Structure 1
Amino acid sequence: MSANDKTAGAAVPALPQSVLSVQGLTVSVPGQDLVKALSFDLAKGETLAIAGESGSGKSITSLTVMGLLPPQVQVTSGAVQLEGRDLLTLPEAQMRQIRGGRIAMIFQEPMTSLNPVMTIGAQLIEAITAHEALPRAEARARALEALTAVRISQPERRLRQYPHELSGGMRQRVMIAMALALKPDVLICDEPTTALDVTVQREVLDLLHDLQRQMGTALILITHDMGVVAEMADRVIILRHGQMVEEGAVAQIFHAPQAQYTKDLLAAVPKMGKGEGAELQISVEPPIARLTDVQVRFDLRGGLLQRVTHRVHAVEGVSFDIRAGETFALVGESGCGKSTIAKALVGLVPHQGRIEVGGQALNALSTAERRRLTRDLQMVFQDPMAALDPRMTVGDLVAEPLLIHGLGTPQERAARVAELFAQVGLPPEAMQRYPHEFSGGQRQRICIARALALRPKLIICDESVSALDVSVQARVLALLGDLKRDLGLSFLFISHDMAVVENICDRVAVMYLGQIVETGSRAQVFGNPQHPYTRRLMEAVPVPDPAHRRPPLPRLTGEVPSPIHPVGQGPQRVLLEDIGGGHLVARADAQSQAAA
C-alpha cells in the first residue's frame, strides 16, 4: 500500500502482515492518564498518521514504542508488539538492539539529536557499528551510501562536516539517513518537518515517500499539519487528550469525518486560494514605516590575523512601506533576510540605507528619541516561552513596558493590564499566574497583550504562529484581525507559510537571498504569481485534500545558494519592474551588478 492508493470514500482495508501492534495502551503520570486505551495496527509498507494538537498524546505514544519514556511516566496497561514480541517486557539491553535496528525515530529538531562535537560521518558510523559488527571502512561505505540515498549534495564532503555547518533541511536529511542506514521495519517521524521551510518540507516528504516505497518500511507520521497528513498517510488516527476520537482511511477522514473534533480540526486549516476580505484601500496618510534601499551586512573574519574575508549580505537593497491599518507580509525561506529586516526596523542590528518610522529616520535619532519611538513599534516573536521571563507573573510581564516608560500609577497600570487581558481573551485572574502555567497559544496571547501595552501603531509578528497547532493558530490569527479592525493597528507579518499569509495579509513581498523578487497586493501576488520563486513557494504548500495530485516539483541539485560573498564582491542586485497596478516583479533581464 502507498500514499498514492487513496480513493475517496474507501473503507479501511484489511492490514496485511502487521509488523507493529499496539493494544490497549495506557500511559500515565501520577493522577493523570496521558494516553488512554489506545489500540492500532501497522502493516508493512503502510503510512499511519497520528494527528492532534499539542498534549494529545502523540509524542508520548511514539516514546512508548521506542522505550524512551522518562522515569516519572509509566505504562499502566496494554502491549506494544513487534511481530508478536511485546516490547514493554524486554530488558533495556534487548531494547537497545531493537531501537535503531528494527524501529527507528526521526525527531522534530535535528540539531538537538545530533552531537555538535562529532562529524556527521562519525555519528553515522557509530549508529551503524552499534548494531552491526562491521569493519570501519565498510561502516563508512554504508554511511556514505545512506547519505547518497537521501540525496544530500556532496555526500563525501558532508561526512567530514559538523552539524552546525549544515542547513536545517540538510540536518534533517542526515537524521533520515541515520534512521534508515540499518533498514528498520518501522520508522517513526515525530513532527519531522514542522520547523522546516515549505520547500524544504516538500523535499523531505518526497524523500520519505520515495525511500519508503523502495525499502518497504512501515511509517508512523506524528504531526498536527493536516496538509502533510493528506499527502502522506494511508490511515489516520485523531487523538485528543490521550484518547482516539476517530480512525479511518485518509480519504474517509478528510471527506466524511464523523467526530466533531475532527471537523473542527480540518476547518481550522488555512488553505491556499481562500484569502478573504476586501482589498485594502490605499491610504492617503503618510506610511507608518518606510524602508528605502536598506542593506544589512555582517563581516566574517578568518586567517591568522582574523581579517575580514567575507561578508553576509543578509539584506541587500530592500525598499517598501507599511501603510496605516494594513497588514504587510514578508515571506520567504529561512536565511532570506525577513527577520533581519524586522531587527533593523526596531534598531537591533545596524543598517545602511534609510528606515523611517512615523516620518523619522532611525539613524538620525538620539538614544532617548529611539526609546520614545519604541512606543509606536512593538514585536511579537516566534517562541513565546523564550520571550517571557519564567520568574515573573504574566501580569507583571505585560505591565513591564508601562513601568519602563514611566506611564501611570500602579493602580492605573493594573487597570491597563486587566484591559489588555480582556482584549486578547484571557480572564483577569490569569494575571497572577506564571508563563509555564499556560498553553502555547495562551502564551502567545500574553505576548500580544504586552506588545499592545504602549498603544503602538505598528506590531511586527516574526513567525508568531508557525509553532502553534492549527486550531490555536486560527484563533491567534483571528485575534490579530480583530485588533487590526478595532484599534486601527498596522502589522508587519513575517512568515514562510504562504497559506497563512494569504489569509491575513493586504500586501505581500516575497524575499529571496536578501532581496525582494516580487511584491504587490494579495490578489496580485497570489492570484497572478509571476516570479518562478513565488510559484515554487506556492506549489510546495501541502494541500489538505488526499484527492489532490500535485505536479512533480523539480528536485534541486548542486550547492545551496548563499548570501556570503568575498570582500569586494556582492550579489547581483535585482531590479523590480511594475507589470501593472503596483505589482512589482524582478525580471531576469533587468539586473545590475550590486556594489560591494
Structure 2
Amino acid sequence: MTLASDAETTGAEAHPGAGPAPGQPPVLSVEGLSISVRTEAGLKPLVNDLSFTLRRGETLCIAGESGSGKSITALAIMGLLPPPAVRITGGRIRLGETDLTALPEARMRTIRGDRIAMIFQEPMTSLNPVLTIGAQLAEAIRAHEPVSRGAARARALDALRAVRLSQPEHRLNQYPHELSGGMRQRVMIAMALALRPEVLIADEPTTALDVTVQREVLDLLRDLQRDTGTAIILITHDMGVVAEMASRVIVMRHGAMVEQAPVHRLFSRPEAEYTRQLLAAVPRLGQGATREAVADRPVARVEDVVVRFPLKAGLLGRTTHHVHAVEHVSFDIRKGETFALVGESGCGKSTIAKAMVGLVPHEGRIEVAGKVLSDLDGAGRKDLRRHIQMVFQDPMAALDPRMTIGDQIAEPLVIHGIGDTESRSARVADLLARVGLSADQMTRYPHEFSGGQRQRICIARALSLQPDLIIADESVSALDVSVQARVLDLLRTLQREFGVAFLFISHDMAVVENISDRVAVMYLGQIVEMGLRSQVFGNPQHPYTRRLIEAVPVPDPAHVRPPSPRLTGEVPSPVHAVGSGPVRVRLVDIGGGHMVASGDPAPALSAG
C-alpha cells in the first residue's frame, strides 16, 4: 500500500450539497408511490404516498432505520419487486418522460442497467460466483450495446481502471471470492457505471466496509459523479455518510416520509422529532463518557501470541507458506473495563478472539480467570466457558431458529449443570428484564424479534453464566444507529451491574471512542498503537491510527475534511514463505502507558 501524490489529495473539495443547477428538469420523479405486500389478512402497506424528484448531478440520501421502506422503494424504481406478493398499489415512477410503472418487463430490462443502475449492499451475493469479473462486466455491457466480446472486455478493463482497482488486467480473470469486500464493491460500482446511467441507486454500499475502504468508496462515487453527471440515490442509516454525501435528504419511518430538506438545514434545524432522535443517536468522536478507573486485576492476559495458518502445495501436500494472522501480540484486560481491538478486516482481531476461546491453535500464552489455556484438557476448557463468553456480529446466525429464546438463554446453565428447571426459568426471566425484554417472550423464536432485540437476547445468553469476560465481535456494526445506541447503553449498564470486562472488537472508530477504556490498534496481525482511549484518540502517534480516525464520517455537513493522501495499491499480503515473515514491531512506551510501534509492518504508511 502506498500514498498517492499531493495532486491526488482529497478532503478540500466542495461539499456535494451544492446540488444541481436551479431550474434543471428532474431526471427521476416519484409521484405518490405506494407499495403493499399481500398477506393472509389482505394487503399490508410497506410504502405510503412517497413523492420526490432527482436532478442530474444531485445526490439524494434516503435515511431511516431498517423497515422504514428505503430499500423497497429502490427495488420499485428498478422494477425488481418480488411478484406477486409485493406490488405497487398507487402512484407513478418517471425516468425523464418514461413511466416505469407502465412498462412490461421486457422493456424494463433494456432500461435497467443502461439508463438506471443499482449497487447493492452485499456485493458477494450480487456477483455470480462461477463467472470471472471480466465475464460479468462484459456480459452487462453486451446486454445493452451491440459490441464484440473483445470490445466489451476492453470496456470492462476501462471500467475497472475508472474505479481505481489495482492490477485491473489481473482482476478481469479473477472470481469474486478472490477479491476483498472493498474490491468487490468497486467491481459493482464499475458494473453499474460502465454504461454511464442517468440514475445510480446505491443501497447501503458502505455499511459492511471498513472505515478507510468506506471513505475510498465514497470518494470514488463523488469523483465519478463529477465526471459523468450521474444522479445518485444513496440509501443509508449512517448519518455521517449522509452529511458527507447528500445534496438533499429524505428521512423515512414506517414506510412514510417524515421530513425532506437540504442537507445543511436538516442537520442544523431538523423539524421532525424522529429526525432529531436519529441525529442524537449518532456516535461522534470526542463524546465518549468519562469513566472511573478500573481495577488493576486482569481477568485475561495475552502474551506474545502467534497464530499462523499453513498453506500446502504439491503432490505431497507440503507446507510452503503461512498466513501470518497474528504476530507476537500482547495485552491484558482488567476487571470491569472495556478493552477495544480496532483495525480493518483481516488485521487479526477476530483471530485473537477465537484463540482466546480455544477455537484456533496458537503459540504464546493466553490466561483467562487465572487459567492458562494451553494447560487445559477438554473438561478444563469446558469449565473455562463459564468465565469467557462471546457475542457475535450476526445474532440471527448465532441463535438456533428451532429453539425458543428462553431455552437458548438457559442452555449454558443446563450444559454446566447449574440450578434446576425452576431456578433457571427465574434466571432467564431476570436476564430478559435486564436487557429490556419481558419474561412472557421466553416462548418465542428468534425470527419473531427485530435485529436489535436478537442482539439483546445474545447478550442475555452470554451473561447467563456470569462470566468474567465477554468478547463482543463486531456486535453492533450491522445495527441501525438508534438500535446501536441502545445496545451500547445496555452494555455499559450491565458492566456496572456485573463488573464484567469486555473485549470489544470493531472497525467503527466512533463507536470504539464512545465505549472503550483502553484501545489497541491492529495492522497486519500486529498491534501498532495501544493506550488509554484519551491517548489513542486525543494524541494518535502511528500514521495508521491517524488514517483510521481521519476516515470516520463526521455527522456535520459543514465539516470539511483536511487534505490527506489517498492510499493506492493493495495492503501487503500476510502470506509469507516458510522461514520468512513480516517485519516484527516492538511497542515503545512514550509516556503514561501509551505504546507505539517502533518497527513498522507498513513502511509505506509512514512515508509522507
Q: What TM-score bracket applies, with the shorter chain setting the length? A: over 0.9
Q: 2:204 aligns with which of 175, 191, 207?
A: 191
Contact 1:44 1:185 in 2 (8 A): yes
* 1:239 maps onto 2:248 in alignment: no
**Aligned residue for 2:105?**
92
Post-superposition, which runs of at least 4 consecutive aligned residues in structure 1 deviate over 3 A?
12-15, 588-592
Q: How far is the alpha carbon of 1:566 from its aligned partner?
A: 1.0
1:560 aligns with 2:571: yes
User: Is 1:25 aligned to 2:33, yes or no?
Assistant: yes
Q: Report the AA paired with residue 322 of structure 1.
A: I
The aligned counterpart of 1:276 is 289
Q: Over residues 296-337 of structure 1, what are the superposed CA-to-partner deviations in whole Å (9 max), with x where a residue is unaligned?
A: 010111233332111111000000000011000000000000
Where does 1:356-395 land on structure 2 (aligned, <5 Å)? 356-395=367-406
Asked whether 1:325 is paired with 2:333, we answer no
Aligned mates of 2:66, 2:142 — CA distance in 1: 36
| 2:489 pairs with 1:481 | no
Q: Is the 8 A contact 1:3 1:233 kept in 2?
A: no
Is the 2:294–2:337 Cα contact (8 Å) retained in structure 1? no
CA–CA distance in structure 1, aligned partners of residues 600 and 323 of structure 2: 25
Q: Which residue of 2 aligns with 1:138?
A: 151
Structure 1 residues 156-193: Cα deviation after superposition (integer angstroms, max 9, x where no partner):
11001111111110000000000000110000000000
Which residue in the other structure is 2:6 paired with? none
Q: Distance in 1 between matches of 2:97 and 2:17?
A: 28
8 Å Cα contact 1:3/1:231 also seen in 2: no
Partner AA of 2:81 in structure 1: L
Name which of 94, 110, 129 aligns with 1:81. 94
Partner of 1:168: 181
Secondary structure of the 1:49 match is strand
Offset at residue 53 of structure 1 (A): 0.1
> Aligned equivalents of 1:441 and 1:546: distance in 2?
28
CA–CA distance in structure 2, aligned partners of residues 103 and 591 of structure 1: 41
Distance 2:569 2:233 in 1: 31
Following superposition, the deviation at residue 13 of structure 1 comes to: 8.1
Task: Please report how far the alpha carbon of residue 587 of structure 1 lies from its aligned counterpart in structure 2 after TM superposition.
Answer: 2.2
**Aligned ranges 1:364-443 → 2 under 5 Å:** 364-443=375-454
Paired residues of 2:240 and 2:556 also in contact (CA < 8 A): yes
Greater RCO between the two (CA within 8 Å, min separation 6)?
2
* Cα displacement (A) at 1:283: 2.4
Task: Check 1:591–1:14 CA distance in 2 against 1; reply closer, same or farther (3 A cut).
Answer: closer
Deviation at 1:281, TM superposition (A): 2.1
Q: Which residue of 1 aligns with 2:9?
A: none
State the match for 1:307 in structure 2: 318
**Aligned counterparts of 2:506 and 2:251: Cα–Cα separation in 1:** 27
Secondary structure of 1:581 counterpart: coil
Cα 1:438/1:590, change in 2 over 3 Å = closer
Q: Distance in 2 between matches of 1:496 and 1:590?
A: 19
Q: CA deviation at 1:282?
A: 5.1
* 1:394-444 Cα distance to aligned partner (Å, 9 max, x none): 111111111111111111111110011001010111111110110000000
Q: 2:527 aligns with which of 508, 512, 516?
A: 516
Pairwise CA distance, 1:591: 11
Q: Residue 253 of structure 1 corresponds to which residue in structure 2?
A: 266
Quote the Cα distance in structure 2 between the aligned partners of 1:145 and 1:90. Answer: 32
Equivalent in the alignment of 1:471: 482
TM-score by length of 1: 0.96
Could you tell me whether the CA contact under 8 Å between 2:16 and 2:245 is conserved in 1?
A: no
RMSD of aligned Cα (Å)? 1.6
Cα gap change, 1:284/1:42 in structure 2, threshold over 3 Å: closer, same or farther?
closer
Match of 2:584 in 1: 573
CA contact (8 A) 2:250 2:257 kept: yes
Amino acid at match of 1:142: R
- Aligned partner of 2:352 in structure 1 is 341
Give the Cα separation in 1 of the matches to 2:601 and 2:504.
Answer: 28
Please point out which of 508, 533, 537 is paired with 1:526.
Answer: 537
Q: Alignment partner for residue 108 of structure 1, among 103, 108, 121?
A: 121
- The aligned runs of 1:174-213 (5 Å cut-off) are 174-213=187-226
Which residue type is aligned with residue 410 of structure 1?
A: T
Partner of 1:127: 140
The aligned residue for residue 67 of structure 2 is 55
Unaligned runs of 5+ in 1: none
Paired residues of 2:584 and 2:599 also in contact (CA < 8 A): no
Q: Which amino acid aligns with 1:438?
A: F
Amino acid at match of 1:21: S
Residue type at the aligned position of 1:22: V
Separation in structure 1 between the aligned mates of residue 316 and residue 205 of structure 2, nearest angstrom: 42
| Cα distance in 2 between the residues matched to 1:154 and 1:589 | 25
What displacement does 1:370 show?
1.0
CA distance in 2, matches of 1:590, 1:330: 17
User: Over residues 65-100 of structure 1, what are the superposed CA-to-partner deviations in whole Å (9 max), with x where a residue is unaligned?
Assistant: 000001110110000000021101100111001000
Residue in 2 that maps onto 1:354: 365
The answer to whether the aligner puts 1:36 opposite 2:48 as a matched pair is yes
- Please give the alpha-carbon distance, in whole angstroms, between the structure 2 residues aligned to 1:240 and 1:591: 44
* Number of the residue aligned with 1:546: 557
Aligned equivalents of 2:232, 2:105: Cα separation in 1: 24
Q: Partners in 1 of 2:52 and 2:123 — Cα distance?
A: 28
Q: Find the aligned partners of 1:180 and 1:195 in 2 and give their Cα distance.
A: 21
Q: Aligned pair in 2 of structure 1 residues 307, 217: CA closer, same or farther (>3 Å)?
A: same
Per the alignment, residue 216 of structure 1 pairs with 229
Equivalent residues in 2 for 1:453-464 (5 A)? 453-464=464-475
Q: Deviations over 1:342-370 (max 9, x none)?
A: 00000111110000001111000111011
Residues 491-531 of structure 1 show CA distances to partners (whole Å, capped at 9, x for unaligned) of: 00000000000000000100000000000001111111000
1:487 Cα offset (Å): 1.0
Say which SS state the counterpart of residue 460 (structure 1) adopts. Answer: strand
**Cα shift at 1:590:** 11
Alignment correspondent of 2:3: none
2:457 corresponds to which residue?
446
Q: What's the secondary structure of 2:113's corresponding residue?
A: helix
Distance 1:379 1:209 in 2: 39
Distance 1:282 1:580, change over 3 A: farther
> CA 1:404–1:15 in structure 2 vs 1: closer, same or farther (change >3 Å)?
farther
Whether contact under 8 Å (1:6, 1:547) holds in the other structure is no
Q: Which residue of 2 aligns with 1:507?
A: 518
Q: CA, structure 1 residues 434+249, in 2 after alignment: closer, same or farther (shift >3 Å)? A: same
- Aligned-partner Cα distance in 2 for 1:235–1:579: 46
